[in-house]
Amino acid sequence: MSDLSGIDKLHLEKYLQMGSGYVLDFSNRTFQKFILEHAHLDIYDDNYEYTGGSKANRLRQLWKVESNYVAGVIIDAFIEYRGVMLLDEYHKEIPKEGQLKEACDTYIYIFYITESYNH
């Protein structure tokens, strides 16, 4: 079980645009493929079924049941993916993304990097 606090999750949910049940611009198929590629988990396994099974709810359940290390791997991959999405034609980040990304990067350090020393 990851140690994400309620505030951590709020930051991540806003950054990943999870308010309406979606996660960024992923379809069910691309979401499944993305999680499988980065964490070697099938997000549509029953372990991740949570109140309706939307992509956002499945990701919330993943954060709830998986280790800090796995949560960190997934968060890191989503941050990288969103960074690529937000590049404008001059290859600059869209304004106001910096603070959210900085908060999310903190989770990478805490959950992914520090947990990797325990493996």
pLDDT per residue as tens digits for the range 51-109: 888 999 999 999 999 999 999 999 999 988 887 777 654 455 555 556 666 766 776 66
> Looking at the domain assignment, is residue 1 inside a domain?
no
What is the CB-side half-sphere exposure of residue 112 using CA atoms within 13 A? 18
For residue 37, what pLDDT is reported?
97
Q: Which amino acid makes up residue 5?
A: S
* Tens digits of residue pLDDT in 20-32: 999 999 999 999 9
Two structure tokens written together for 69: 């290390």
> Looking at the domain assignment, is residue 88 inside a domain?
yes
- Closest by CA position to 105, among listed 93, 90, 89: 93
Specify the number of domains making up the chain.
1
> Looking at the domain assignment, is residue 38 inside a domain?
yes
- Closest by CA position to 61, among listed 114, 119, 17, 4: 4
Find where tokens 């992914």 sit: 112
Range of the domain at 76: 6-116
